[in-house]
Structure 1
Amino acid sequence: MATHKQAVPPPTVFFGEEAFQPIDHTEVRWLGSGGMFVNTRGTCIMMDPMLKDFDMPLLIDMPIAPEEVPHLDAVLITHCDNDHYSVPSLHAMEHVSKAFHGPHYVAELMQAEGFPANGHDIGDSFEVGPAKITLTPADHAWQNEKAKYNYRVFRLEDYCGFWIETPDGIIWAPGDSRLMKEHLEMPQPDAILFDFSDNEWHIGLEGAIQMANTYPEAHLILCHWGTVDAPDLNVFNADPQSLYERVVNPERIHAYAPGQPFSLKKS
């Protein structure tokens, strides 16, 4: 089968305990795949950390081993796919994270693994340090099309994004999702963890461009690209070059290395 060359990010920027210290602003680091690490004024949060033992070959080195994470105030999980809900990664961090959060179904899965998880409805909000976090809707129930998963009906409320209000601005991680009407009706975020996968169960390239141009001032921290070595699977083959000529204010596109910090400072 013919393959094409995958777009890959710059070399990984490794980080350690220094990234978890109190700071006077907010830093966002893409962890590879759909993952994110946020340090907001010393409160440390990871979302969808897939940091070890994935079941496909990778194109990148992970920026931190989960065993090296010194502490977390919360882990956020958007949905149950193993490139987002990484059971090995969470077990490696279960004694350093104060809390685990996700939609109710994901929380049930985490609880079955022994994690003290909190389940939430879409639209629910909770606080982690100075951050207010709200679950936003997502449409990603691809399992309903596969006989392998017919042991249950997967529902919209089993998937989410996270809207994170920090003292320095708003970070929005919509999660894996088809474009929804609600996604185009949010307040203006300051930064979006931006999936642009051209896949029928993701936002799609056209949907990604529509979202980007709906929020023309938001920084776009690219995710869900350049991580999994699978050149023939469109879900893993987003290419930043497809964005620059079609996104308003293209200088806000950040095709960062895994682990590279993006600073969010209140103007």
Structure 2
Amino acid sequence: MKVYKNKNGQAMPDKSQFFGPEAFQKINQTEIRWLGNASMMINSRGTNIMIDPLLEGFDMPLLIEMPILPKDIPSLDGLLITHIDNDHFSRATCIDLLSVCQSYHAPKYVAQVMQEEGIPGVGHNIHESFMIDDVKITLTPTCHNWQKDSAKYNYREWKEEDYCGYWLETADGTIWLPGDSKLLDAHLKMPQPDVIFFDFCDNEWHITLEGAITLANTYPQADLVCIHWGCVDAPDFSPFNGNPENLLDKVINPERIKVLAPGEPIVLTRKEKQ
């Protein structure tokens, strides 16, 4: 586990591992990359999908370099957005990928906003499934509608279904992104995933550290790819400053905690179901 500290004591990952078009080629396995913050890339035997790619234009200072820029992406079969927050829905990234991305998917409200921005978003309901090539994708429930408590954002009714996670079924195993969310009872009743994109933010509108540990230990075989930490220079803002080291003595089978450098690939492996 390579965890570093900046001058403010904020935990950070190792240096970004830059990649280019070679990572999008057809392969005989499924590779996963954490792109920083809550951005992920999946190459499933040549089907390339990104989730919440934030590769440019963020409005807060960063601690990392992006491992790839939109101009260097040769093609995407699909791009998934979980919710409207600008550390997940990067309008600049989505727009700059229009010429190479085959499809955009999101909860229905986010897809509507995409369309207003000239992005051809396809809206989906929670629990709805769709296909991108031979990868089956299902929206999973979340609770992250924090805007309803803010006078600044009271211009609409913020519903839980405006936010989602994603469950992906590939030829090589299952990947689950629970998404930014409070821990829900439904999160503890999923099938055993092979990989969880693991948010462990100790924040009331995220899962909290206690909730993250409960989730991790409910699925003791799943690899835990740590996300939503170490990338935004915000040492006093809990959604961005978790430390994976705090998980080590609390998670069953801690060797499955994957602390990746942005851009570093790992191979999806199917776990024995218990």
User: Is residue 71–residue 96 contact of structure 2 (8 Å, CA) maintained in 1?
Assistant: yes
Alpha-carbon RMSD across the aligned residues, in angstroms, is 0.9
Q: Indicate whether 1:42 and 2:57 are aligned.
A: no
Query: 2:266 matched to which residue of 1?
Result: 262
Q: Residue 229 of structure 1 aligns with which residue?
A: 233
Task: Please list every run of 5 or more consecutive structure 1 residues that lacks an aligned counterpart in the other structure.
Answer: none
- The equivalent of 2:12 in structure 1 is 8
* 2:216 counterpart of 1:212: yes
TM-score by length of 2: 0.95
TM-fit CA distance, 1:67: 1.3
Give 2:189's aligned residue: 185
Partner of 1:55: 59
Whole-angstrom distance in 2 between the partners of 1:151 and 1:231: 30
Decide which of 109, 130, 134 is 1:130's aligned counterpart. Answer: 134
Q: Deviations over 1:53-82 (max 9, x none)?
A: 100000000110011111000000000000
Q: Does 1:33 align with 2:37?
A: yes
Q: Distance between the aligned counterparts of 1:39 and 1:238, measured in 2?
A: 27
Corresponding pairs, count: 265
Report how far residue 266 of structure 1 moved.
4.3
Partner of residue 247 from structure 2, selected from 243, 246, 259: 243
Q: Which residue of 2 aligns with 1:147?
A: 151
Q: Percent of pairs identical after alignment?
A: 57
- Counterpart of 1:64 in structure 2 is 68
Q: Is the 8 A contact 2:174 2:270 kept in 1?
A: no
Length-normalised TM-score, structure 1: 0.98
Residue 53 of structure 1 aligns to a residue whose secondary structure is coil
1:95 shift after superposition: 1.1
Partner of 1:121: 125
Q: Select 1:166's aligned residue among 150, 163, 170.
A: 170
Q: Is there any run of 5+ residues in structure 2 with no aligned partner, and where? A: 1-6
Q: Match for 1:24 among 6, 21, 28?
A: 28
Cα distance in 2 for partners of 1:67, 1:109 equals 23
1:89 pairs with 2:112? no
Please tell me the residue identity of whatever aligns with 1:82.
N
Retained in 1: the 8 A contact 2:194–2:270? no
Q: Which runs of 4+ in 1 moved over 4 A?
A: none
Distance in 2 (CA, whole Å) between partners of 1:131 and 1:265 is: 15
